[in-house]
Every structure is written in C-alpha cells, then in structure tokens.
Amino acid sequence: MKKITFLFTIGCLLTTAFFTNYYAQTVVTSLFDLRNAVVQSNQNIVLQAGDYNFEDLPSKYRNISISGSNNVIDLTDVYINFPISTSNTAHITVTGDNNTIRGGVFEDTYSSGITEITDFVAYNEDRTELAVGADPHIIITGDAEGTRIVKTKMTVRGSFPYGYGSLFGIGAGNTYGLDKRAGIQINGPNTEIDSCEVQMRAFGHGIFIGEPAANTLVKNTLVEGVVRKGSELYADGENSLLAQNDYKDNDGNVVDPDDVISLCEDGIRMYNGGGRATVENCVVKKMRGGIKLYLSSEATVSNSTSIDCGDVNFNMPTGGTITNSIGNFAYEELSDFAGNKNGYNAEWTILPSPHATGSHNIADVSGNNHYLVFHRADGPLDTDEERAIVVTGNNSTIINETEYAIILEASASGNIIYSCGGGAVTDNGTDNTVTQLEDCADIEMPTCGDFDPFSRIEAEDYCDQSGVELEGSSQGTDNLSYIHNGDWVMYSDVDFGDQALSVSASMASPNDGGNIEFRLGSTTGTLIGTATVGNTGGWQTYETVTANLTAVSGVQDLYLVFTGEGSSLFNLDYFQFFTTLGVNDIIESTIKMYPNPIKNELHINKAMGAKVDVFDSLGKLILSSKLSTNDSSIDTSSLTPGLYFVRLEKNNAIDFKKIIKE
C-alpha cells in the first residue's frame, strides 16, 4: 500500500510540474522582451503594467510577431503609444495557434499631440507626420488558428486621404492614392474578438475578415467612427482635396452638402472567402458600413446595434439571421439587402432618426423569401417621417409593427405584409397580400410544414437551411444554388403516410456533382437514402436522379444534407417521393423508348402493364397512359416543342427518361 501511495504522490507531483511548466508565467518589463517572449510557446506572458512607447524598440524591430502557440499574453493595465510614422507594418502579427491577447490600450499618436482633426487641408498636406497610413493594428494571419483578443482597446489614427471617407475611391482607380489604416484584420480560422473597443480616427475598417478565416466570433465589442456633413466638406475651402476635384466624388458626381459621410470604412466587415461569422452584443456607430456581412457564407447577428452609419447599417448573406437587434436610418438605410441576397430571417427595432438627412429609404428590401420583423422603439410616434420601407423582391413575409410606411414596387410579387403599427402600405406590385391590423397580437402567422411528399416539393420552400442560396431556374421557379459540402435544408412535418420507398430529384451540375443525404429529425439523424448527381452539362441543365429508400412512414422532419468535394456541388430544383421502388437495372435494360427527339409518336417496347406519365419541364403532368401491349405507341402530336420527362412504372420499379419534342 505504501508503494502505491508513493507512486501516486510522485505521479501527482509530475503532473503538477508538467502543467505548471505548460502555463509557466513569464514576466517581461519591456516591449523588446515581450517581442522575444512571444516567439516561444505554452506560456502565460505578463507585460508589467505601465506606459510603453513603440519607439523604444529599434526601428527594424517595431513589430510584435506572435509566432509561438498556446500563449496567454496579459497586457492588463498596459498602455502602448504607437507614434505615427513609427512603422508601416502591423503593430502585432499573429501566426501561431491558440494564442490569447488579454487587455491593453493601444493608441496611434501624432507628434504634435493633437487628438482630433479639425483642419483637414493641413492634415492631408502633411504626408510625413499626419496623413500617414500603415497596416492594421493587429493582423491575425491565415496560419493562426484559435486566436482570442479580449478586453483590448485601440484608437486608430493616420491615413490618407482623411476627412472625406470613400468619396475619392476605395481601391484601384481612386483619385489621390490611398494610404489606409485599420483596426483588426482577421484571416485565421476560429478567431474570437471579445469585449474590445476600436475607436476609428482613420480611413480603414474597424474589424474585417477575409480568406481563409472561418467561424469568426465578435462579441461584446464597440466599433466607433466619425462622420461629417457635406456642407462641412465644402467649408474646408478652395485648397481642400474636395475643391481640387471640382467638388465631385470619384465617380464624377457633385457632392451633396446635405449628405453625411463617415470618415472611416466599415465597422465589422466580411470579404469573400471569410466563411461563417457570428456577431453578438456588439455596437457599431458612425462607420461607413455597420455590420456588413453579405459576403459571408453564413452569418448570425444577435443583440447588436448599428446606428448613424454613412452607407448602410446592416446587411447579410443569403439565409442570414438577425435577432433582437437595433438600427436607425439617419444617414443611410437600416439595411440595403446588398447583392439581392435571399432568405433573411431578421428582426430589428427601428430607432427614430430625427437627424436623418439625404434621400435614402428606411430599408431597401430586395431579394426573395425573407422573413422580416420591424419593431418600433419606445416613445412618441415618428409621424412626420416620409421615408419608407421599400420592397422590390418577391415572396417575403414582413411584419411591420412601426408607424413607417411600406411601399411595394411594381417588381414586388407574392409578398405577405402585416402592418399593425399604423404604417400605411402602398401596393404597386402583383399578387401581394396586405393585412392591416390594430393589434400586432392578432397576427396569425402561417407555419412552415405539412408537406405532401408524393407531390412535387419545390426545394426553395424549405423551413430552415444552412449555407444555400436561391437563384432563378430555367425550369420556371427558383432552385437551390451555391451548395457546398455540409450545407443542408429542412422541411417540417412531411407526412409519408404508410410508407415511401423511393425519391426523385431534379438536379444540375457542370462538374462532378455530389450527393443528397435524406435524413430524419436532424442533419445527423437516420439516413433513409442517398441520391447522387454527376455532370449534367451545366448549372441549368437538369436531369432527374432517383434513389431507393429505407422504408419511411409517418410525419417526419426531413433534412436534405449535401455532401461532395469542391466549392459548388450542384443545383437542386425540386424533389418527390414515391410508394414504389426506384429505378433498377431490370426495367432500364428491358424497356426501350424511341425515338428521341420525338415528333408525333413515342414508341415503347416490352412494357405491357406499365404506367407511363409525361411531365413538362415544370413538373406538370401532361399525358398519362396504361400500356396494354408489349409494343405500344403514345400520341405526342399535341405536345409543344421543348423538354419533357417520362416516368415509367412497372412491377414496383420506376424509371425516368428525358425526351425532346421537336
């Protein structure tokens, strides 16, 4: 027993020693020592509290490169002064994995000591001490996974041109050349920004995300910029950059004195390839764009506020979700629905904007199949506001609890509008349903579900989804598109009755395609069948694929989970279940149909007793016949030229063929 106790004690001591070493605390007292420490791994690095100046570092070492991994870098009660022109590279670059930066106040400073710019002419003329840009304060590279930045505050200064926002261009072809400076650049996967503050006093983004980032979380964070009214820009005088450009922007438009512009770029911004983003409990103020995530693959925003932004306050990708969030329309729209993205599930409280200026709308609802709720803020009714929520897209459900008007433009069709806050609704579109109610509690919302699987189910009629987008189909409706590995759609309360034994799906792909997994209850639920699509010849060249199922019955929540390799797998237009088995080798090898293309007759051999259904390209049943002989013909003279599908059922097996009528 003593031996066992001794060994146990030794084991505990060794374990304690291991973890103590793993999280060993390293206290450093200078930026140079900090710079040397962060190239090592598995440390708790503490920079002694106090004020530091980046100029204390030798000029060629004025970058802190965190190449080690599994470090906690504690900057609690640390202030670091970054004098403008100190370095044109990022102050901090992260390349290692699983590092946490905690605390720290970072400030770009001018040698003159000024903190706010009032003379923008003098500022932009001084390209050595004032109007000098650099890389972002912090760059999290694509090699760095699992970075966390917690309770860090930064004030970002120094850029050219400054004072005029995006008026002179944001990329190639700009008027004067650009020298930007941003806050935080995220390219690393699984990055988390928590309880930070980014004060932007330069032309650049607050926080921006790009490839190959994925699963970025920004929470409890403030990003704040500065705005100026157009009339203030005119007051800069004849030597200003605006005057030198004949008071026009980069596109040749005369600047409106009533417009308000942000001097910065976007608050929280996603670029192509940046993956999924989640924003929780954040505030963005006075930036060009607020929470601007329309280029994300997926995005969720909750309990967040974006106000007084100069270009837009919110936008999202297809299928993006916004809950319990707040915005206004002071200088531009609450949301512009950039890129005509579809399927927003968004809930906003709209703040009155008595300081609003410019000719913009409250919101511009483009795209299709949204579910939108506009709550009103507490306080007096904003009855003098003439701006409106303008709808140009189709098939959205909008609940308007505000006093603000909704205008359905001529292009708007199939929308369902509930107005219960006094806001007028003007319907210039077609097939829209408008219901005016005195009490929002009286709204009886239709529920998604109760699908008949034995009739054609349009893929775009899903109840929930992840990752997919919608586009117009060559077959006359919408189809699911931009489908990637792991994306899914869900259909509630699908009533399979006694049983379904097979499924068919209309799919298109110009590449190797992929698979649809049909699952019950969840994305990892019971797999009842898999349909495979190959190369059909184009994104809108549809073919019908079939799959046999493990017998399924009763009412089920159905998930279609998409798998495969590549950036876009296939398009899916519709699908349908059957009580018979699917296509098999016997029926395909024995029954012959010819000619193809057809003219006036379709000949079918060795098919006695088979049922033949002919559908048009939209899935409408055109002809149906029960064959009584082995050599049969179907009169097709009445068919108009085009694409048709023939469904052949015999002996509990089915087959689909595509035919062309000349």
| Per-residue model confidence as pLDDT tens digits over 319-373 | 899 999 999 999 999 999 999 999 999 999 999 999 999 899 999 999 999 999 9
Residue 568 backbone dihedrals phi, psi, to 5 degrees: -135, 125
Question: Where does the pLDDT of residue 8 fall: very low under 50, low under 70, confident under 90, or very high at 90 and above?
Answer: very low
The residues near 172 (Cβ < 8 Å, ≥ 6 apart) are none
Q: Which residues pair with 155 in a beta bridge?
A: 107, 199
Q: Which tokens belong to 566? A: 């590549």
Q: Which residues pair with 78 in a beta bridge?
A: 50
For the stretch 141-189, pLDDT in tens is 999 999 999 999 999 999 999 999 999 999 888 999 999 999 999 999 9
CB 577 within 8 A of CB 503: yes
How many percent of the chain have pLDDT more than 70?
94
Half-sphere exposure of residue 242: CA atoms within 13 angstroms, side-chain side: 22
Q: Which tokens belong to 258? A: 């009533």
Q: Which tokens belong to 277? A: 């983003």
Torsion of CA 549, 553, 559, 560, to 10 degrees: 30
Question: Where does the pLDDT of residue 618 fall: very low under 50, low under 70, confident under 90, or very high at 90 and above?
Answer: low
Token pair 């098939």: residue:
395
Q: Which residues pair with 655 in a beta bridge?
A: 648
- Is a pLDDT exceeding 50 seen at residue 12? no
- Is a pLDDT exceeding 60 seen at residue 21? no
CB 473 within 8 A of CB 571: yes
Half-sphere exposure of residue 248: CA atoms within 13 angstroms, side-chain side: 8
Task: For the chain, list the domains and their CATH numbers.
Answer: 457-578 (2.60.120.260), 585-661 (2.60.40.3080)
d(CA 536, CA 542): 7
- Is a pLDDT exceeding 90 seen at residue 607? no
d(CA 516, CA 486): 10
Token pair 């601007």: residue:
292
Question: Where does the pLDDT of residue 466 fall: very low under 50, low under 70, confident under 90, or very high at 90 and above?
Answer: confident
Q: What is the Cα gyration radius of the chain?
A: 31
Residue 169 backbone dihedrals phi, psi, to 5 degrees: 100, 160
> Please, what is the average pLDDT of the chain?
91
Question: Where does the pLDDT of residue 476 fall: very low under 50, low under 70, confident under 90, or very high at 90 and above?
Answer: confident
d(CA 610, CA 615): 16
Residue ranges with strand state E in 226-288 = 227-229, 260-262, 268-270, 276-280, 283-285
Residue 472 backbone dihedrals phi, psi, to 5 degrees: -65, 140
| SS3 label, residue 215 | coil
Q: Pairing between strand 100-109 and 388-391?
A: unpaired
Q: Is the entire prediction scored with pTM above 0.85?
A: no
Q: In what order do the strands lie in the sheet with 488-495?
A: 464-466, 488-495, 555-563, 514-520, 526-533
What is the pLDDT averaged over residues 544-559? Answer: 92
